[in-house]
Amino acid sequence: MVTTAIENSVKEGLMNIEVIPEIEIEEPKERQHGDLAINTAMVMAKQAKMPPKKIAEIIVSKMDPSNTFIERIEIAGPGFINFFLKDKFLEETLKLVYERGKDYGRVNIGNGKKVQVEFVSANPTGPMHMGNARGGALGDALASVLDYAGYDVTREFYINDAGNQIEKFGYSLEARYLQLLGIPAEVPEGGYHGEDIIDRAREFLEIYGDKYKDVPSEERRKALIEYGLKKNLEKIKEDLALYGIEYDVWFSEQSLYDSGEVYKVIEELKQKGYTYEKDGALWFKMTLFGAEKDDVLVRSNGFPTYLASDIAYHKNKFITRGFDWVINVWGADHHGHVAPMKGAMQALGIDPDRLDVVLMQLVKLIEGGQVVKMSKRTGRMVTLRDLIDEVGKDAARFFFNLRSADSPIDFDLDLAKEQSNENPVFYVQYAHARICSIIRQLEEEGVKIDNIDEVDLSLLKEEEEKELIKKLAYFPEEITIAAKTLAPHRITRYVLDVASLFHSFYNSHRVKGVEEDLMKARFVLILAVKTVIKNALNILKITAPERM
RNA sequence: GCGCCUGUAGCUCAGUUGGAUAGAGCAACGGCCUUCUAAGCCGUGUGUCGGGAGUUCGAAUCUCUCCAGGCGCACCA
């Protein structure tokens, strides 16, 4: 409508504009500034060589809001055009929420595009730590948001079951196994010193006894690795399931070696002339793609590096499996790996913009006021399982998704335990439970909504009611922004706002015990609030309890 | 040294591709339950948006610079 008004103004010679800017609609912070506002007049001021206020006046004079939800239009401040919506808009919002139910909030900016979200991908050499907990909460919520935004989402866990750290894992297990058999052995430098390694070795001993005592080290390690990986993966799957995460695909790095894809992609890069040999190793000319320096693809001992297998992995994602868009959730300590991967995609003829990496800042663990260095190698850590057991899945997921990925987190587990009932997640869940309680009582009294068109929603005139409905109307927009900016924490903030507005409403107005028509209208309102809270919590995989 | 991220109220953090008087939770104080769950609501206030400069109608947001913190810069992943 605005665009048309501008076009007409230009046609009539009232303005001189070459390019009509994109109309950005925003929600003003102050209610006196209307329900929606645009800054188009100010954006165009320079181009039109006219004061923004004048432009705004021309635009407004050319708009006809008679067949819309717009009640009136005002020009304010330096040239904002503010729109005030009719109450009819609020009624339509409630009907829409009522009709769409669990699908309310779904938008289609994704158009069914195939997107893969890879997250956590914890090393299967030990239990998952707090960083994995954060990555899990973030990645899973991001995947849900994209699903709500109309993408065809695949959740994937990449199993690093090949390479150097697996070797170290093998040596570490071997040392513990031999120790248990009374044979002197040491966990090697840079090996894994955690308790879990001893547990695995002991379990192995219980199953196989001293069968692997006198066999060659290589055979012994192979058996230990096979057992250890299998067992660790089982535990990882179990813990993630408790955390509410179900993957579509568990992808093995080793499978890329077994299928020959790693060697094929190295060969491809060689053919394209993007490699050279130096010091007995094969190097990738990353500097051609904007990197600071080149990196090694194949070590002088003949083994490919993780870079090589990762390139093969991403080629598999894009080419073999045909994902349109790939999103990796990585810890900030891997940020140096982003540019090489994008460069490699370019080298393979894949548009690097189809690869996004969400870098999340690290979780620093605090204990007794001191920073605890988390490391699988030193074995000193707090696991995801500890977090779930002591703080709870819902509180943990809400906590992590309250912050943007860019925000570093200091996590004090003792404090988290103490404060877990102050976690805002309960504030939201409480709102949901309160609504469910009212609904139960209304249903017991035989009140029900047969046909929403027979409910007079225009009776919802109180400020608290209008504010609440406007917030509900904003949900699809919130999903859109969260998807576009890859920022699922927006949903957490949003549902907190909804809960807050509901609690305000609850304390100033009653549903039960008012005149019947109004009661029914408010019944529809709280049903809508319940739907939105539930849908939002569902995105975060947080339970929406009916009683608390 | 180079690169990425961060610096916003006493504390923990939001701030939607530059927008109107910078917001919430926690903590502090005062008030609200004979009626739908007080895990709630209402009220009271504090900011050199790390410092400085620039870009423009307009900057917490963009650019430059300096300061502080985190992370990375392997033939580990």
Q: Is A238 exposed, middle or buried (0-12, 13-18, 19+ CB in 10 A)?
A: exposed
**Residues A425-431: what's their mean pLDDT?**
93
What tokens were used for A246?
Answer: 């179900």
Give the C-alpha separation, A116 to A188, whole Å: 37
Distances (CA, A) of A536 to A27, A104, A488, A493, A508: 20, 10, 10, 10, 25
What tokens were used for A474?
Answer: 């904003």
Q: How far is the CA of A410 from the C1' of B11 (A)?
A: 13
Task: Find and list the nucleotides of strand B having atoms within 7 Å of a protein beta carbon.
Answer: 2-6, 12-17, 19-27, 32, 35-42, 56-58, 69-77
Q: How far is the CA of A30 from the C1' of B48 (A)?
A: 26
Would the pLDDT of A380 be above 60? no
Runs of H (alpha helix) within A181-328: 195-208, 217-242, 253-258, 261-271, 306-315
Question: Minimum mean pLDDT among A41-50, A95-104, A224-233: which range?
Answer: A41-50
Most confident by average pLDDT, A42-46, A57-61, A270-274, A452-456? A270-274
Torsion over CA: A274, A277, A279, A280 (sign): positive
Q: What percent of chain A has pLDDT over 70?
A: 92
Q: Is the CB of A487 under 7 A from strand B?
A: yes
Query: Residues 22-41 of chain A: which lie with beta carbon within 7 Å of strand B?
Result: 22, 24, 26-30, 32-34, 37, 39
The residue whose CA lies nearest the C1' of nucleotide B5 is: A406
Which among A211, A110, A105 has a CA at the least distance from the CA of A475?
A: A105
pLDDT band at A67 (very low <50, low <70, confident <90, very high): confident
* pTM, full prediction: 0.93
Would the pLDDT of A367 be above 80? no
Token pair 């739907």 in the structure block, residue: A531
**What pLDDT score was predicted for residue A350?**
94
Give A119's contacts (C-beta < 8 A, 6+ positions apart): A135, A136, A138, A139, A140, A142, A143, A155, A156, A157, A328, A329
b (16+ CB within 10 A) / e for A188-209: eeebbbbebbbebbeebbeeee
Would the pLDDT of A217 be above 70? yes
**What pLDDT score was predicted for residue A253?**
96
Would the pLDDT of A378 be above 80? no
Q: What does the pLDDT look like over A154-208, one tens digit per residue?
A: 999 999 999 888 999 999 999 999 999 999 999 988 888 888 999 999 999 999 9
**What pLDDT score was predicted for residue A256?**
97
Which amino acid is it at A337?
H
Residue scoring higher pLDDT (A374 or A436): A436
Which among A166, A198, A193 has a CA at the least distance from the CA of A181?
A: A198
Q: Which nucleotide is nearest to A431 (CA to C1')?
A: B40
**What pLDDT score was predicted for residue A421?**
72
Give A215's contacts (C-beta < 8 A, 6+ positions apart): none
**What pLDDT score was predicted for residue A451?**
87
Would the pLDDT of A84 be above 60? yes
Q: Is the CB of A77 under 7 A from strand B?
A: yes
**Residues A230-241: what's their mean pLDDT?**
96
**What pLDDT score was predicted for residue A20?**
67
Give the C-alpha separation, A467 to A476, whole Å: 16
Rg (alpha carbons) of chain A, rounded to whole number: 29
Would the pLDDT of A538 be above 60? yes
pLDDT band at A61 (very low <50, low <70, confident <90, very high): confident
Q: What does the pLDDT look like over A334-352, one tens digit per residue?
A: 998 998 999 999 999 999 9
**Residues A203-220: what's their mean pLDDT?**
95
**Residues A91-109: what's their mean pLDDT?**
94
pLDDT band at A88 (very low <50, low <70, confident <90, very high): confident
Q: Is the CB of A334 under 7 A from strand B?
A: yes
Q: Which nucleotide is nearest to A167 (CA to C1')?
A: B76
pLDDT band at A43 (very low <50, low <70, confident <90, very high): confident
Give the number of C-alpha atoms closer than 13 A to the C-alpha of residue A253, restricted to the C-beta side: 22
Q: How far is the CA of A337 from the C1' of B3 (A)?
A: 12
Mean pLDDT, chain A, rounded, equals 89
Residues in chain A: 548
pLDDT band at A53 (very low <50, low <70, confident <90, very high): confident
Query: Residues 492-511 of chain A: which lie with beta carbon within 7 Å of strand B?
Result: 493, 496, 500, 503-504, 506-511
β-pair type (A80-85, A275-278): unpaired
Q: What does the pLDDT look like over A484-528, one tens digit per residue?
A: 999 999 999 999 999 999 999 999 999 998 899 999 999 999 999
**Residues A376-384: what's their mean pLDDT?**
66
ipTM above 0.90, yes or no: yes
Q: What does the pLDDT look like over A7-18, one tens digit per residue?
A: 777 777 677 666
